[in-house]
Amino acid sequence: MGEVESTAYHEAGHAVASFHTERAVKAISIVPDEDNLGRVSHYPLTGRWFQPDVEIDGRTTHYIETSITVLLAGPAGERRYRGRWNHVGASADYSRALDLAFRLVGSERQLRHYWAWRHQITMDLWENEYAWEQVRRLAEELLERKVLSGRVARDILMPRLSPEVSPGKRSTGPHSL
């Protein structure tokens, strides 16, 4: 389990959580740069609705909560793969997630409880074998290709049925009933 493999699982964790929370992924990379070993890029927000310093409405709360889950999912995916936490590699994710979480709560005590709850939600995601299999498949593709577009990642995670087995079509092969 080398650094590149751990990074692939970390970034795949972010990406799969993005898909499960319906956040569009622009690209995923495990090519290091001066600041990161990898990254998941999302499309920018459109409109002026996201102003958490001004107002926290239902839409903003949902966006913040899904963002926290996506941020925590990378380190949690890496942990499941490695069998231990990489707190140094996850520090930027934790810092951004804590900043977002603090916008939703009123005290440090509430923050501790809220953080534990969001962390548990994220850990539960990787206990789902279907979701974990998605992380594994995406990490394998990242190790092979290094960079994936969001569209390619989506196709890996949600393969389309071939025309031979699409609903409504009858198979005429040897296994048809």
* 28 within some domain: yes
- Which residue type does 66 have? T
pLDDT digits (tens, 9 = 90+) for 106-140: 899 999 999 999 999 999 999 999 999 999 999 99
Strands laid side by side in the 147-149 sheet? 39-42, 25-29, 147-149
* 170 within some domain: no
Q: What's the domain range around 31?
A: 3-159
Spatial CB neighbours of 103, under 8 Å, sequence gap ≥ 6: 52, 53, 56, 64
3-state secondary structure of 149: strand
* 99 within some domain: yes
* pLDDT classification of 160: cutoffs 50, 70, 90: low
CATH of residue 112: 1.20.58.760
The predicted structure's pLDDT at residue 57: 85
Question: What is the DSSP secondary structure assignment for residue 26, as one 8-state letter?
Answer: E
What's the total number of domains in the chain?
1
Task: Report, as an integer, the average pLDDT of 83-100.
Answer: 91
* 176 within some domain: no
Helix (DSSP H) and strand (DSSP E) numbers for the chain: 6, 3
The predicted structure's pLDDT at residue 62: 92
* 67 within some domain: yes
* 120 within some domain: yes
Average pLDDT over the chain reads: 87
pTM equals 0.85
* 116 within some domain: yes
